[in-house]
Amino acid sequence: MRKNLLDFSYEELIEEFNKLGLEKFRVDQVWDWIYKKKVFSFSEMTNLSKEHREALSDRFLINIPELLDMQISQIDKTTKFLWKLEDGNTIESVLLFHPDRVTACISSQVGCPAKCAFCATGQSGFVRNLSAGEIVAQVIAMEKERRVNIGNVVYMGMGEPLLNYNEVVKSVKMLNHKKGKNMSMRRISISTVGIPERIVQLGNDLPEVKLAISLHAPTNFKRDMIVPMNKKYSVEEIIHAAKEYQRITKNRVTFEYILIREFNDFVDDAEKLAELLRGMGAYVNLIPINPVPTIGEIKMERPHHWAIERFKEVLDKHNIENEIRKEKGTDIDAACGQLRRRHIDKKKA
């Protein structure tokens, strides 16, 4: 059975190529075709001999996902992709356009086991982890499809990255490798719902990569209601791990806080959040929720504008740096999981 060449690190490929009698510089050539020229067929790699191309074709595939759907915002060019993987499963990726950079939001799993109440991905269930090659392929495929150079990558798409730790770390190193995408570690962010031991491990393994923690509530009582994994990893454990991560890396931690109307948008919530983060030098992303179906007794509705501003004012008062996230792609299915879920629903109909 042929293997996905994108699943191999540069060093692993040197070993694989050596088995075929191919020198190290042939790996450089192949990676240049893939990462720089966006060529995914060995037959088109013209600086390799016919014999070498045939040998590689017999042993490897270059698995780039198939584009099933693409939505482009008429407001800000935000682009949502639905990809079909080799086994027929689907994942999403997003391109975000800023004045000075293009950011890719990529997935690390098919579905998600975290099952956060406000997330369409979690509501569709967990299927499997992505391989490092399937993670990296999203970046390459988006660059080719939209003819852009991606400058930043955020692991904030489908899935919980720290529950697919080894493949995520491997994919980061592949994107960072000077022979590949050559992306600075500091331009890569990993978002997690909070797996304490992995947060600390990430600080040791990838100290330059940025960390974002999806907190969404300042107390265990409220967080238990919207983030099921909080029953395993408490708010206190997550904050302790974040502080240890900061001690190791000297990096500032970003906390994502989805604001849900009359659930976690009260002054008391803001006061408790400020107290929780006091002295950390943390940064808080305030995110008015993208409405999803009501879960239990909690109506997943966007707060009133004045409630969002009131929450921000409390954090400002306590010198907690924060920002209300500017929405992108509001005219398309930009929220994570929406496009995939719609595709699944269509197949069932």
Q: Which residues are identified as catalytic? A: 92, 336
In whole angstroms, what is the distance from residue 220 CA to residue 213 CA?
15
191 is in an annotated binding site: yes
Angle at 106 between CA 305 and CA 10, to 5 degrees: 150
| 290, two tokens | 């993208």
Torsion of CA 5, 8, 14, 20, to 10 degrees: -40
Nearest alpha-carbon partner for 266 in 303, 318, 234: 303
In this structure, the number of other CB atoms found within 10 A of the CB of residue 339 comes to 23
162 is in an annotated binding site: no
343 is in an annotated binding site: no
Check: CB of residue 140 under 8 Å from CB of residue 148: no
In whole angstroms, what is the distance from residue 308 CA to residue 259 CA?
8
- Residue 285 phi/psi, 5-degree rounding, is -95, 110
Q: How many residues does the chain have?
A: 349
In whole angstroms, what is the distance from residue 261 CA to residue 253 CA?
25
- Largest alpha-carbon pair distance within the chain? 69
| 50, two tokens | 């016919």
Contact partners, residue 166, CB within 8 Å, separation at least 6? none
Contact partners, residue 49, CB within 8 Å, separation at least 6? none
105 is in an annotated binding site: no
214 is in an annotated binding site: yes
| 180, two tokens | 């590949």
In whole angstroms, what is the distance from residue 110 CA to residue 336 CA?
12
290 is in an annotated binding site: yes
3-class DSSP assignment, residue 150: coil
Q: Which residues are annotated as a binding site for S-adenosyl-L-methionine?
A: 159-160, 191, 214-216, 290
Q: Which residues are annotated as a binding site for [4Fe-4S] cluster?
A: 112, 116, 119
Q: Which residues are annotated as a binding site?
A: 112, 116, 119, 159-160, 191, 214-216, 290
